[in-house]
Chain A
């Protein structure tokens, strides 16, 4: 035994005698993780969160979360002598006088954008591969919660510097609160400590941004990861991979080295962006005052769709009995997002209700093999994309020499027309891909070699695909639609017939598929 082994041994012994950790470690160090690039998306989100904690902590050492009015006398000459809040002045101080301050601000902002982007793409991966199915519904809901909190946290974060752009964003948030029926003006006055903007808001959102929400993130991320750990990761289908096993690399050493290394890569790339790519140059916007604004006011991208919905809303307000309801704010600002996010959170349960499938699933779907789900996903993304485009309608108008009215009318129509169209096209595309898979298994791969037959006909030589590939293309199960009878055996209509009818219909839509190749079919064709 070397000296090093002796020391390690006695440390391990000390810990184990007090915690019994060895048994747990033995089991978990051999944990296997399947390998796929798309499994790194959630990791990027996690690592960005760590980067946000580190860079954010740095920023708090100089940031002064106060709306106290100060006269600027710092290093940035164009704003010299101007009245501004201490929050804005200290952000300028971080940007111009603290060494590495601007770098950290830019790293923090880039990390926030990457965090949100990684969450969204990770969510798309989980959705399109059906990873949210039993037993992972809870983790899906936690994920939707993290996305929602991320949007709020990001918004509060870029509001803190109290520049002209961010103040305008807060003004809009205040208008949404104020638009709530019955309690709106009370909530707005409580939130802002009086009439907008008041002097209480920046310190309050600072507490939420650096304490409450990060705490919630830490708790939710911990549960999210513990569930991934405990339930074991899903895996893509392939030879040797089943619902009952996990094929991959052990935690120690390969996965640890790869995941740990990947953290440094994400951090390095974010630092590179922070070094060379300017983001949110608040000194160009000037301090916030409610009487001013800059043209081309844009939120960060993850808020853009919300802004786009508000922009395209028709001008409807109800005035009755001495009260006002602003549908032009409530519908795009609260009701539609509320429906979207609730529907997203509940989707695992909706799908399992439609298909009647209550079994565990650990093998991922290829998106084409779940045409209905894939089409629904593309439909939702199309909706979001149209909203996002309209959120940048002013920028698009000036860039492409269009009028804002043209883009707005396009969006108002497209938000209703394009999503259903996307659904139909995607579903057909999925079925075509299934057909192509079927052809590939039955007739092999086109080699591009043309051969002239003795009687003069030209044919292309097809080569059979490998057994591994054939397995990949046929391993999925094709569930028949639910058989739900409208009436029982004696012809009496069952209670809840309408609900049953809807369910049967959805189930049929979900079960549409091109029949996959069976072993018999393959044998039959081989005899030819």
Chain B
């Protein structure tokens, strides 16, 4: 084209510069020895590996600077293995770099596009094939095939149905009922109000009826955190205040954001913090969210004491615990 700007000329591939090993047999011999030494180092590594496996006892710990107390067998197995592999690689590359030809080679590329006659022939063949099958004309076959393929594709979905039960109201239900005792986790002991000092926190679970085994899925919904403040610290409405007992307040420990255990309690500020995404809840204001991505307070469990003076739930949770889901109404 006439308006094309003239660019600087390509000087072409620079002339090849010989390495010393290409011209000097002594240098080549030296390179050969270096490669051999690298391969021998690898063999030494494998010997270290075998020796460590057989002779170093599994429970021997040795102190190394930086590494600290280290299991000697694992360490020397690893070092042996590392050397055994690494030096094979180094040897091969040193060999390639010093002794194998280092002259660059030029090959030509070809356009990927097929020649026009091939493309035309392909189109003709494809069309002829489609016409022979009558795909275009026999619409009854085409449609019924489409239907059957689509339906056949559904069958894996049907067959996977038994992966799990339907949720029903499982996400909204916990084991807490009116009168369920709070027991310590771990320890399984019922708790009296006086067991908790002001400022103390306890992780609790519901006492299960005799004969019922506790599984992890129960803990995932039932875990409750007890915190004792001075009654005057609370900033609650009358109903929520009536859910506390002598300054003891109970919250679901399962984060209302993504279900992690809200385990960090800061005594000074009376804040609960979830270590996963740092949602922060104010204990004095019924676990109101004061920072982070959680959108709802932790559900509060109404508590009182039974006739023997042990802490019990006054009623079940009034809302689902844990992260949100589509069927949740509030």
Residues of A within 8 A of B (CB): 30-32, 75, 97, 99-100, 102-103, 106-107, 135, 168, 171-172, 174-176, 178-186, 188-200, 231-232, 239-250, 253-254, 257-258, 260-269, 271-272, 274-276, 288-297, 307, 310-317, 319, 322-326, 328-329, 332, 360, 362, 393-394, 404-405, 408, 441, 467-468, 470-471, 474-475, 516-520, 522
Q: How far is the CA of A316 from the CA of B108 in the complex (A)?
A: 59
Which B residues are CB-close (under 8 A) to A99? Answer: 53, 58, 73, 77
Chain A residue at minimum C-beta to C-beta distance from B218: A195
Known contacts A185-B327, A257-B95; A174/B259 CB under 8 A? yes
Contact indicator B78/A272 (Cβ below 8 Å): yes
Known contacts A192-B164, A324-B329, A394-B275; A272/B82 CB under 8 A? yes
Contact indicator A468/B14 (Cβ below 8 Å): yes
Stretch of B1-9, B192-200, B226-234, B241-249 on the interface side = B1-9
Question: Can you list 27 A-B pairs, Cβ within 8 angstroms, ordered by A?
Answer: A99-B58, A172-B260, A178-B324, A184-B325, A190-B161, A195-B221, A244-B108, A245-B109, A247-B13, A248-B105, A253-B96, A253-B100, A254-B102, A257-B92, A257-B93, A258-B92, A261-B95, A268-B83, A290-B261, A291-B205, A317-B296, A319-B328, A324-B329, A326-B295, A329-B324, A332-B293, A516-B7
* Per-residue interface assignment for chain B, residues 191 to 235, with 1 indicating a CB less than 8 Å from any chain A CB and 0 otherwise: 000000000000101000000000111011101000000000000
Contact indicator B220/A197 (Cβ below 8 Å): yes
Contact with B81, one of A103, A250, A394 (Cβ below 8 angstroms): A103
Contact indicator A268/B77 (Cβ below 8 Å): no
Q: How far is the CB of B103 from chain A (nearest CB, A)?
A: 9
Q: Of residues 120 to 146 in B, which have CB atoms within 8 Å of A's CB atoms? A: none
Q: How far is the CB of A398 from chain B (nearest CB, A)?
A: 12
Q: How far is the CA of A106 from the CA of B74 in the complex (A)?
A: 10
Q: How far is the CA of A362 from the CA of B163 in the complex (A)?
A: 49
Which A residues are CB-close (under 8 A) to B58? Answer: 97, 99
Chain B residue at minimum C-beta to C-beta distance from A100: B77
Chain B residue at minimum C-beta to C-beta distance from A195: B217
Q: How far is the CB of B61 from chain A (nearest CB, A)?
A: 12
Which A residues are CB-close (under 8 A) to B96? Answer: 253-254, 257-258, 261
Q: How far is the CB of B167 from chain A (nearest CB, A)?
A: 4
Contact with A102, one of B71, B85, B109, B325 (Cβ below 8 angstroms): B71
Q: How far is the CA of A188 from the CA of B53 in the complex (A)?
A: 45
Contact indicator A264/B85 (Cβ below 8 Å): yes
Known contacts A179-B324, A258-B93, A313-B293; A196/B220 CB under 8 A? yes
Chain B residue at minimum C-beta to C-beta distance from A292: B261
Contact with B89, one of A268, A296, A307 (Cβ below 8 angstroms): A268
Q: How far is the CA of A190 from the CA of B82 in the complex (A)?
A: 44
Contact indicator B164/A324 (Cβ below 8 Å): no
Chain B residue at minimum C-beta to C-beta distance from A240: B13
Known contacts A317-B296, A474-B8; A311/B277 CB under 8 A? yes
Which B residues are CB-close (under 8 A) to A186? Answer: 166-167
Question: Does B10 have its Cβ within 8 Å of any Cβ on chain A?
Answer: yes
Which B residues are CB-close (under 8 A) to A471? Answer: 8-11
Contact with A232, one of B109, B205, B220, B293 (Cβ below 8 angstroms): B109
Q: How far is the CA of A426 from the CA of B112 in the complex (A)?
A: 35
Q: How far is the CB of A212 from chain B (nearest CB, A)?
A: 13
Total of A-B residue pairs, C-beta within 8 Å:
337
Contact indicator B217/A231 (Cβ below 8 Å): no
Q: How far is the CA of A174 from the CA of B205 in the complex (A)?
A: 22
Question: Does B254 have its Cβ within 8 Å of any Cβ on chain A?
Answer: yes
Question: Does B238 have its Cβ within 8 Å of any Cβ on chain A?
Answer: no
Which A residues are CB-close (under 8 A) to B7? Answer: 474-475, 516, 518-519
Q: How far is the CA of A467 from the CA of B257 in the complex (A)?
A: 63
Question: Does B306 have its Cβ within 8 Å of any Cβ on chain A?
Answer: no
Which A residues are CB-close (under 8 A) to B171? Answer: 178, 185, 195
Which A residues are CB-close (under 8 A) to B277? Answer: 307, 310-311
Known contacts A275-B78, A275-B81; A264/B86 CB under 8 A? yes
Known contacts A258-B92, A319-B330, A408-B292; A271/B82 CB under 8 A? yes
Contact with B107, one of A32, A100, A200 (Cβ below 8 angstroms): A32
The total of chain B residues at the interface (CB under 8 A) is 97
Closest 3 CB pairs of A and B: A275-B78, A268-B86, A240-B13
Q: How far is the CA of A296 from the CA of B253 in the complex (A)?
A: 17
Contact indicator A519/B330 (Cβ below 8 Å): no
Q: How far is the CA of A246 from the CA of B104 in the complex (A)?
A: 10
Contact indicator B223/A467 (Cβ below 8 Å): no
Contact indicator A262/B89 (Cβ below 8 Å): yes
Which A residues are CB-close (under 8 A) to B95? Answer: 257, 261
Contact indicator B14/A293 (Cβ below 8 Å): no
Which B residues are CB-close (under 8 A) to A295? Answer: 263-264, 275
Question: Does B258 have its Cβ within 8 Å of any Cβ on chain A?
Answer: yes
Q: How far is the CA of A185 from the CA of B324 in the complex (A)?
A: 9
Contact with A171, one of B165, B260, B291 (Cβ below 8 angstroms): B260
Which B residues are CB-close (under 8 A) to A242? Answer: 10
Q: How far is the CB of A294 from chain B (nearest CB, A)?
A: 7
Which B residues are CB-close (under 8 A) to A319? Answer: 328-330
Q: How far is the CB of A320 from chain B (nearest CB, A)?
A: 10
Q: How far is the CB of B138 from chain A (nearest CB, A)?
A: 34
Contact indicator B328/A324 (Cβ below 8 Å): yes
Contact indicator A272/B86 (Cβ below 8 Å): yes
Contact with A293, one of B275, B278, B293 (Cβ below 8 angstroms): B275
Which B residues are CB-close (under 8 A) to A135? Answer: 112
Which A residues are CB-close (under 8 A) to B75? Answer: 275-276
Question: Does B154 have its Cβ within 8 Å of any Cβ on chain A?
Answer: no
Contact indicator B326/A323 (Cβ below 8 Å): yes
Q: How far is the CA of A414 from the CA of B323 in the complex (A)?
A: 28
Q: How far is the CA of A382 from the CA of B281 in the complex (A)?
A: 31
Question: Does B147 have its Cβ within 8 Å of any Cβ on chain A?
Answer: no
Contact indicator A271/B85 (Cβ below 8 Å): yes
Question: Does B178 have its Cβ within 8 Å of any Cβ on chain A?
Answer: no
Contact indicator A519/B8 (Cβ below 8 Å): yes
